[in-house]
Structure 1
């Protein structure tokens, strides 16, 4: 066996296994190996198992990393973020905390429109500059793959600029970025009261440009009462699918509109939020293999009821957990906080949380065949924790226990 890197003296290696999402009770089946080792050749894992059973290394001597009796897990996959945006909305955080209703915040010039104004006035260089430190902080927390959405331009030029910024950032730093076009995130002032006309514009003018530039893998829509209803959401997503994009949805976050059922009918890769999704629509998602992405930090900040992750798992769904980093409802990229909330308020087990933030996060991006677990043939995206067990990810509530981040077989972050 050839190897360029060997990690040895691992107290506990914990990982889900498989090349697709883990559903239902399988989410709790995490493989834990004591006294383990991992061998990597260039950027691919070639061995992960008991140290005493590791095959002999042939050829040049590999780099050796001594885990020092610490735990090792796969890199986190944050499958839902809005990390490229300009400006802040800190005043809204305190308005909300004081009980100000959303419509009153909107009347004061807040909400998504606030971020749209700032983002439209920002150059490509500005957006790259604000995105880079956010990615650096994600990497320190162990995020090795992240999804990033547009949606703060609501026009052709700025939407493309957001997505291009992600392409540039993807090439400049270690975290893999998966771009998602979220043109139908809100109704811009130019189309106020005319959501159907805005969808027509997006389909006719913006979607072909996104396809032509190759800036995005997915298309997403905010399917919600007062924003984009089921018919407009379906029109956009069907046009996106016809253009070769995979599909995602913001579904049933505020009211039970039926977005989860639409995601199932269209074969979306994931449907996200799902706080108000019906049991019938969740069953349809399970049957269609749609990943349910839950965003507990957003519910925590908005003081809303959490999505019923326990019920989803018991229905046989694959659940992913993501942060929803955005400037309004969730200015946080804390995977550790999402993990703790999953256990404390969503009744998930630690094993289910580990699966939800690694392999199922990868599945929510269509990437589970090549990452999200520690097994031969997968990308060497590996975290060495400053802890003896993977359970410390949630036990250290909201705190970072990631010591060393290895991305594609290279050490890219070490926390002193």
Structure 2
């Protein structure tokens, strides 16, 4: 149905990355097809894209309609809003006090076994009030938006009691209601075995299955369930039990898989039909092929590998074997304390072997599919939500090439300008 007016017409775009095509994720060679046009424009009405493409075509499509506002892109690059499919946004405290251990080469799982790592953040999160958690998370969400994110996944997992997990999820719900950025919540009560259950992981798994999952579902606080499947955390069988119970309750499934050891998480993600498997630094070819055949999206987290000085996920191999790859900051207080999606772009090119075009695909349409939003965000097409980013750059390669700064000039969410001139619009 043709609108009565155009609320916003963005014109004089240098390169417009549309990502037009199938609403599903791009795989293999498809990840290089970004649907980029030169000399583009985008017309928006009621928060939805009316037309996007060459400027002459867009102007013809909206001819005769009153235009309320125009925005001259001044030759800038424009992409769909960046989608962040994996964060631990809501948490208390920080972990710079462990930095010296990391610099000395103490392994991540050893720090966790000593009561540090995730368990340190659990103590800080339990001690924090809901308002304190909200304010801290809001500041990080502001930064994510300033770096171009318009939709963000947020996991719990730093409470590890029913009430503290619910507290984290309530904060995410409140942010989704008050912040311009759209949040997708994931319950991750199985992020670690809490100190009070040390040596009794089976009992904690039962608590997650019998008490936490049903209550989170009853209150409608999460869409997905995630588990940290790793040696010293949750075994493949424990992860299977939790995710199977979550699936029966109607949760979508995600999995922290094969991050440190090739435990078999990738195969489990394929077996259970997870929407995505995350990390995958140690995933085997067999596991990756199983994911490919099951349609599981590989979410790679190069900032985490960089910060842990660990081997990187084999994104180049994944793409070449036909997997759909998405990218994320993995924002969290321990292994990846950064909100910069543009840093991730650079690391993905330099350390994962991805091209700039593949990176943009991984941060838009593929990331949207990794959180079940591929039908309404991730590309610039008529009928899609009007989430866009305008950069102080004129082509995609410039973003990872000129690293260490923020290239974002303007962010538009649901047709509203929320960042302008690199500053949040109040």
- TM class by shorter-chain length? over 0.9
Q: Spell out the pairing of 1:15-414 with structure 2 (5 A cutoff).
A: 15-17=18-20, 18-54=22-58, 55-102=61-108, 105-106=111-112, 109-414=115-420
1:6 aligns with 2:18: no
Structure 1 residue 106: deviation in Å? 4.2
Structure 1 residue 334: deviation in Å? 1.2
Structure 1 residue 59: deviation in Å? 4.1
Q: Deviations over 1:56-82 (max 9, x none)?
A: 344433310110111101110010000
Could you say what secondary structure the match of 1:400 adopts? Answer: coil
Q: Distance in 2 between matches of 1:223 and 1:84?
A: 21
User: In the superposition, relative to structure 1, how do residues 300 and 212 fare at CA in structure 2: closer, same or farther (>3 Å)?
Assistant: same
Structure 1 residue 103: deviation in Å? 5.8
CA RMSD of aligned residues (A): 1.2
* Matched-pair contact (CA < 8 Å) for 1:334–1:398: no
Q: Distance in 2 between matches of 1:108 and 1:191?
A: 14
Q: Distance in 2 between matches of 1:370 and 1:107?
A: 42
Identify which range, 58-67 or 272-281, moves more after superposition: 58-67
Note the residue ranges of structure 2 that are not aligned, 5 or more in a row. Answer: none
Could you say what secondary structure the match of 1:231 adopts? Answer: helix
User: In the superposition, relative to structure 1, how do residues 104 and 196 fare at CA in structure 2: closer, same or farther (>3 Å)?
Assistant: closer
* Matched-pair contact (CA < 8 Å) for 1:15–1:355: no
* Matched-pair contact (CA < 8 Å) for 1:80–1:148: yes
Could you say what secondary structure the match of 1:183 adopts? Answer: strand
* Matched-pair contact (CA < 8 Å) for 2:9–2:67: no
**Normalising by structure 1, what TM-score?**
0.98
Structure 1 residue 30: deviation in Å? 1.2
Structure 1 residue 4: deviation in Å? 1.3
Structure 1 residue 41: deviation in Å? 1.1
Q: Distance in 2 between matches of 1:377 and 1:284?
A: 34
**Normalising by structure 2, what TM-score?**
0.95
* Matched-pair contact (CA < 8 Å) for 1:392–1:401: no
Structure 1 residue 129: deviation in Å? 1.1
